[in-house]
Amino acid sequence: MMKFSVFLAALFSTCSAGANYYMYATTWDTTHAGTDSDIYVRIHGMRGTTSWYLCDLSLDDFTRGDTDYYQFYRNEDVGDIMCVEFHTGGEDMLLIHKVQIASSSSGWHHIYNKRGQWLSRDSSEGVTQDKWCENDCALDLPIRLGYWSLARTDFNLGAATISSLSPTVVDTHTMDATTSPQDIETEYFASVTAHDSMTFSKTGGVLVSGVSFAANPVEVANSAAVVDAATSLQIQYSVPLQRTNIKSSWFGCRAPAGKKVQCTAEMVKMQVRVPFTQTWQRGSCTWVVSGEFNRVWDSKLEQKIVEV
C-alpha cells in the first residue's frame, strides 16, 4: 500500500509564482519511435499544473533512441513534481521511453512510460494525450469524488487553539452628563444577525472544488475544543455551511452626573483552529492530506461601556 503525507501550501488548482523547469526526454530505440509532429508537455505537482509547453529545439528532437534536453519557464510553480503529460499535434507516431525532470523548487524525478503508450492523433496508432506519473497512485490526483473515497478524518485536538477576534460593532451611543447636575440615561435596541459558519482554510484540507464530504464539527466547551461526534455535517469548498439567527436586546446607557460615557453594543467573535488529517483511499492507494480546520462564529451580543 502506498502512503503519502501531504502538507498543502495552496489548492490543487492554484500555483504560486513561476518556476524554471529542466527536462530530459528519451525516445525509445525502436522502429517508428521518433516523430516530426509538434509535441507539448505540461507538469503536474503538489501545487497544481503548468500550462502547455511546446518541446521544440533548433535541431531535430524526438528522434529514435535520442535524449533531448529542454529548459523552460512557466508562470506556475507546481511544487514537488509528480507527473508529466504529453500531447501530440500530429499523426506521426511517437514513443517516449522516459523523462527526467526537475524544477527550481523540486529535485530530479524519473518518470517512465510504463505502459509503452504511443502518441498519435491517428487513433489506430496511439492516443493524442497521455499522463505518466512517478507513482501511479498520483494518476487520479487531484482527488475527485467517484475515484477516491474518504476513509477517515482525524482532528489533533491537543494542538487546538481558541482565540477572540475583534468584535462587530452593532450600535453605539454617547451620553454626555459633564455639565448636568443629574444622571442622563437612555435605552436603545440593538439587533443583528449572528452567523455560525464552518469553513476550511485555503492552506489545508482536501479542498476539492465542488465536492462535499462529511466531517465532524468542532465546538468549544469550557475553553477546550472538542469534537461533537453525534453530528455529521456536510462541508463544501466555496459554499461553507452557514446558520443564521437574530440576536437582539434592549440596553440602558447611563452617564452619571459630571461624566461622559460611550455605550456600544457588540457581537462577540470567536475562532477555533484545529489541525487535522484526512485519509482518502482508492484501491491499494492511500492518500493522507493534512491541513487546518478553521471555525469562526458570532456568539454573543453584549454591551461595552467606556468613560470618555
CATH of the domain at 112: 2.60.60.20
Contacts of 102 (CB under 8 A, 6+ apart): 21, 22, 23, 81, 108, 109
* Number of domains composing the chain: 2
Residue by residue, DSSP assigns 212-268 as EEEEPPEEEETTEEEE-TT--EEEETTB-EEEEEEEEEEEEEEE-TT-EEEEEEEEE
Residue pLDDT, tens place only, 217-243 = 555 555 555 655 555 444 443 344 566
Residue 147 inside a domain? The answer is no
Residue 5 inside a domain? The answer is no
Residue 80 inside a domain? The answer is yes
Pairing, β 149-155 against β 260-282: antiparallel
Domain that residue 58 falls in: 14-140
Residue 3 inside a domain? The answer is no
- Assess whether 260 and 189 both reside in one domain: yes
Confidence check: pLDDT of 245 > 60: yes
- Assess whether 134 and 159 both reside in one domain: no
Q: Stretch 65-78: mean pLDDT, rounded? A: 96
Go through the chain and tell me how many residues it has.
308
- Assess whether 99 and 156 both reside in one domain: no
- Assess whether 52 and 131 both reside in one domain: yes
Confidence check: pLDDT of 126 > 50: yes
* CA–CA dist 117, 230 (Å, integer): 50
Q: Stretch 122-136: mean pLDDT, rounded? A: 95
DSSP at 93: -
* CA–CA dist 205, 199 (Å, integer): 10
- Assess whether 268 and 175 both reside in one domain: yes
Residue pLDDT, tens place only, 182-226 = 999 999 999 998 876 655 543 434 333 333 444 555 555 555 556
pLDDT of amino acid 198: 56
- Assess whether 248 and 122 both reside in one domain: no
Residue by residue, DSSP assigns 273-299 as EEEEEEEEEETTEEEEEEEEEEEEEEE
Domain boundary among the residues 85, 117, 140 is at 140
- 53 pLDDT band, cuts 50/70/90, is very high
* CA–CA dist 22, 104 (Å, integer): 8
CATH of the domain at 289: 2.170.15
Closest CA to 272 of 214, 215, 207, 201: 201
Domain boundary among the residues 108, 140, 172 is at 140
Confidence check: pLDDT of 8 > 70: no
Domain boundary among the residues 140, 160, 184 is at 140
- Assess whether 76 and 173 both reside in one domain: no
- Assess whether 87 and 159 both reside in one domain: no
Q: Stretch 141-154: mean pLDDT, rounded? A: 72
Percent of the chain surpassing pLDDT 70: 77
- Assess whether 115 and 157 both reside in one domain: no
Which residue(s) pair with 133 in the sheet? Answer: 83
> In the chain, how many H helices and how many E strands?
0, 20
Q: Stretch 81-108: mean pLDDT, rounded? A: 96
- Answer yes or no: are the C-beta atoms of 259 and 177 closer than 8 Å: yes
- Assess whether 182 and 283 both reside in one domain: yes
- pTM equals 0.59
Residue pLDDT, tens place only, 278-298 = 788 888 888 877 777 777 778
- Assess whether 110 and 27 both reside in one domain: yes
* CA–CA dist 111, 27 (Å, integer): 13
Q: Stretch 163-179: mean pLDDT, rounded? A: 94
- Assess whether 296 and 165 both reside in one domain: yes
